Structure 1
Amino acid sequence: MSPLDVIETGQSGRRGGSSPGLLYSGSDWNFDTLRNSYDAIERIAIDELELDVYANRIEVITSEQMLDVYTSHGMPLIYKHWSFGKRFVGHENAYKRGLMGLAYEVVINSDPCISYLMEENSATMQALVIAHAAFGHNHFFKNNRLFREWTEPSGILDYLEFARGYIARCEERHGVRAVERILDAAHALQNQGVHRHSGARPMDLKGEQQRDRERREHEDRVFNDLWRTVPGSKAEKGLDNAAERRRRLGLPEENLLYFIEKNGQRLAPWEREIIRIVRLIAQYFYPQPQAKMMNEGCATWVHYRIMSRLHEQGRIDDAAFMETIHSTTNVISQPGFDTGGGPNFNPYALGYAMMTDIARTCEAPTEEDRAWFPDIAGNGDALGTLKHAWAEYRDESFIQQFMSPAVMRQFKLFRLHDDAEKPYLLVDAIHNPQGYRDIRRSVAQSYDPGNFYLDIEVVDVDLSGDRCLKLQHLTSPGHLLDEKDARATLRQLADLWGYEVKLLEIDRQTQTVLATHLASPARTGP
């Protein structure tokens, strides 16, 4: 990717005080316009809103480059894989047929924080997305607890460069098809290749690169391929007792890629490293779906507040502010279920509505607000309350704590109870005190991270016996895995493991076996 131009800046490098007059007039822009707009936006974001952000890197790219960013998880550096090209063609065809639009921006959780602006944007849209991405998202990335605990922004770009170079070297040495086989299997398992519980070792991307060098040097010194064919290795001795075996292997283990990486006996060192690369990149994106609504709500609230202040200061004219209102309104619209809205909330719509409602509750509460939110109603500190919420909550807990009856009325929410044994749907929660609580609890549950990941764990493997990898999926009747998808995914897992894989689907309540899936590896031999 070759950006048309780059603006890099940090909080300590701001240029001078405020200058009077309009930042621009009309829709045309140039790079001086972008720099002046950035400076004016930064003064409001840092001096008035007191946002805490990483240094910014602004890149302007073409629409085709924006499509390319879509296909690579929004990252500027990524290894090559056919799935990225497939995704690019799909997005490109949909865009050309008018079935989808392009994002005005893409922002990367890195330090410096990289924001991509599309060159086709108007001057107002460039200013708006700078406020939205370079300050709204940037502040959220740097301050939200999930991102602080699970990501390493200062190391991600260097690690992606290392990963791309390492996989390219593996393709040269071992062949594209051999590398692609490992990547295909690892990609199929990447949603089950993350640590999800607190207490897991924090990410150390810089350390991983150093450890990779040390591992390769050690393996070059001691590697002898004959050892892989010798039964009864030292690692397997003392593992005949099932309880001791599981203890020493750290079972049960929720991170399937981690277990394969550490214990796969038929993996070559380079294959193990590729699995580790896919696993660490998947782990880096782990917080994003858990805080998407809050992240977009925060960025939308920030950009609208900043653009409003620019209008109040006379830095943008009425036409530009009307464009801001129009664009923001489009972003936060919530289509109905019968007009293409589907079963889920637009994260911009719900996030912005809740952020705005919190600010209203802090500044101008009603008696209902005082009853529901006695700790924040009328505290006069809307910004402080919002910044605390942005830092300490994820979507599920944020909704459970802050969704108000006013927001529920705004979205016309009610709750349906669907009993398959009855010929009707029952409305069991409406707009009354108990109904509001029931609705809020149900909306929060729909954002439970448990809904994003299947509860699948490695529970046993006899390394000194048949080496069959045994997994279990805790679920409930009616929520079983699709047979075809389960079989295809387990084949990929068996191919990495090198031996048979067995998955039991177990009723979470009764512990009865609901289904069994088996898969054997496509390859044989060491």
Structure 2
Amino acid sequence: MGKSAASKLLFHSSDWNFKTLSHAYDAIETIALDELGLDVYPNQLEIISSEQMLDAYSSVGMPLMYQHWSFGKRFVFEEHSYRKGHHGLAYELVINSNPCITYLMEENTMAMQTLVTAHAAFGHNHFFKNNYLFRQWTDASAILSYMEFAKKYITKCEERHGTSAVEAVLDSAHALMDQGVFRYRRPPRLSSKKEQERARERLEYEEQTYSDLWRTLPRATGRPDPAEAERDALERKKVLNLPEENLLYFLEKNSLILEPWQRELLRIVRVIAQYFYPQRQTKVMNEGCATFVHYTIINRLFDQGKVSEGAMLEMLHSHSSVVFQPHFDDPRFSGLNPYALGFSLMQEIERICNHPTSEDRDWFPQIAGSGQWRETLLDAWANHRDESFILQYLSPHLIRKFRLFLLTDQSDEKYCEVASIHNERGYEAIRKALAKSYDVGANQQDIQVVDVDLLGDRQLRLQHTIKNGVLLEESNRDATLRHIRHLWGYDVSLAGVDAETGAVRYECSTAQLSS
């Protein structure tokens, strides 16, 4: 490499310093904003050690996370696996906040710092800011201040009520996190610091004026009239807004035993659960977006002569490892790699826009040959989740590349049936089935609060809508019911109802469970 070419390089060795990081960041930013048209939050890059990365793993990747024994347990597990060489650590961790916080490992080489800055600080950052799920369901500008409030509040509760009492509530709340999100209606926005201060003052007032007297209302005596009982039930469900899918929200608002500070703990846990819910629906898209962005940027840097061949080979080696898709008979196979599928989908859109085949023109007439791959990707990143994105853009060419086909089976048959192969009808069925497998709402167990008689036996009645004959695992089901009873204060029953026939498949109650 000549002297003039070498002088253009952003870095000359694997060592890095903050000046080198700054120069690389500026070069990445120019390509990301001017050539790819990305729109990002302000970036905040932080350098952390491997132990700090392990700590971030254990606390679900959130800064200012409150303390809980489960985080320590996970830290020990992750540290043991890392030290034994069973798995490595992520090169970076990115927070959906404004400013967008990206943690970079101090052990990374400069080449890796370049790659992960492009991946996280621009790829993930753009997706967080622009995707409709994150825009509607999370508040990036308020999450950090809310986590600060949550950590201080829980610490204060531990000082006032004891660590054991706080952990008991958090244990039960954590067990219900998957059932603690709003899936179909938007939750309220996170409160500002001023509103949080008012909420804190309100809670303190409620704690001072809290009374148990209302719980001692006498139960109804005598045999109720059936018509009257039905009217009461309808009125009760209307007042309580039943059925309710968000169990943590219902318990927070209606539990008969929780004190104000305990209700606030439930709210904190469900706010965190809601914050992560869009990420569960966009894993393929989010990682595909970030991987496509870093791959495009590092290639442009190489074309501009700003990274050497050696650095480029190091970055491509890491990239290839990330998007590696093991075959079904490989011991490492655990399903479709979201990085591999997402990145391939993004590349496929670019190919169809620039170099379409006749098949592409039949399947994607609106974008084939348009040359507008940037505009198409920006629109897709903003307006889709995994399910709809796959349903819209998975091409026959990509189905063949991944060798996908569709199997169906019946519980009373010994063999599976190859239901769809690589033909016109098969491509449609395969794409539809794969998209459905990424529908979090459809694959999540549907358990809702359907009734509770606050003046009668006070038993909380839940209903599990059984889809495709999939039942709950009994030990986990019973353990979760105990957690619900702990927060509710009275017995909890659960009925499993078949979604197609309406037949009751099973019934269970905490009254039947051994203590």
When normalised by structure 1's length, the TM-score is 0.92
Match of 1:190 in 2: 177
Q: Does the CA-based 8 Å contact 1:239-1:464 persist in structure 2? A: no
Matches within 5 A, 1:107-186: 107-186=94-173
Q: Does the CA-based 8 Å contact 2:146-2:190 persist in structure 1? A: no
Question: Could you tell me how far apart the structure 1 residues matched to 2:211 and 2:35 are?
Answer: 64
Q: 3-state DSSP class of the match of 1:28?
A: coil
Match of 1:279 in 2: 270
Q: 3-state DSSP class of the match of 1:241?
A: helix
Match of 2:250 in 1: 259
Q: Does the CA-based 8 Å contact 2:207-2:259 persist in structure 1? A: no
Q: Does the CA-based 8 Å contact 2:219-2:456 persist in structure 1? A: no
Q: 3-state DSSP class of the match of 1:117?
A: strand
User: How many residues are treated as equivalent by the alignment?
Assistant: 500
Query: Would you say 1:376 and 2:367 are equivalent positions?
Result: yes
Provide the alpha-carbon RMSD of the alignment.
2.1
Q: Does the CA-based 8 Å contact 2:324-2:340 persist in structure 1? A: yes
Shift of 1:343: 5.0
Distance 1:240 1:263, change over 3 A: farther
Q: Does the CA-based 8 Å contact 1:152-1:205 persist in structure 2? A: no
Q: Does the CA-based 8 Å contact 1:400-1:440 persist in structure 2? A: yes
Matches within 5 A, 1:14-29: 21-29=8-16
Shift of 1:176: 0.6
Q: Does the CA-based 8 Å contact 1:70-1:88 persist in structure 2? A: yes
Q: Does the CA-based 8 Å contact 2:459-2:493 persist in structure 1? A: yes
Distance 1:260 1:520, change over 3 A: farther
Shift of 1:499: 0.3
Match of 1:483 in 2: 474
**Comparing 413-422 with 427-436, which one deviates more in the overlay?**
413-422
Distance 1:428 1:69, change over 3 A: same
- One-letter code of the match for 2:388? S
Match of 1:12 in 2: none
Query: Would you say 1:513 and 2:500 are equivalent positions?
Result: no
Distance 1:57 1:477, change over 3 A: closer
- One-letter code of the match for 2:192? K
Distance 1:268 1:231, change over 3 A: farther
Q: 1:32 aligns with which of 13, 19, 28?
A: 19
Shift of 1:137: 0.1
- One-letter code of the match for 1:59? E
Shift of 1:431: 1.1
Question: Could you tell me how far apart the structure 2 residues matched to 1:477 and 1:432 are?
Answer: 27
Match of 1:206 in 2: 192
Match of 1:105 in 2: 92
Match of 2:447 in 1: 456
Shift of 1:517: 1.7
Uncovered stretches (5+) of structure 1, i.e. residues with no partner: 1-18
Question: Could you tell me how far apart the structure 1 residues matched to 2:465 and 2:365 are?
Answer: 40
Question: Could you tell me how far apart the structure 2 residues matched to 1:242 and 1:391 are?
Answer: 43
Shift of 1:214: 4.5
Q: 3-state DSSP class of the match of 2:329?
A: helix
Matches within 5 A, 1:29-68: 29-68=16-55
Q: Does the CA-based 8 Å contact 2:464-2:496 persist in structure 1? A: yes
Question: Could you tell me how far apart the structure 1 residues matched to 2:496 and 2:204 are?
Answer: 42
Question: Could you tell me how far apart the structure 1 residues matched to 2:152 and 2:444 are?
Answer: 30
When normalised by structure 2's length, the TM-score is 0.93
Task: Name the % identity.
Answer: 56
Q: 2:377 aligns with which of 377, 386, 394?
A: 386
Shift of 1:453: 2.2
Q: Does the CA-based 8 Å contact 1:499-1:520 persist in structure 2? A: no
Q: Does the CA-based 8 Å contact 1:258-1:279 persist in structure 2? A: yes
Question: Could you tell me how far apart the structure 1 residues matched to 2:68 and 2:126 are?
Answer: 32
**Comparing 260-269 with 414-423, which one deviates more in the overlay?**
414-423
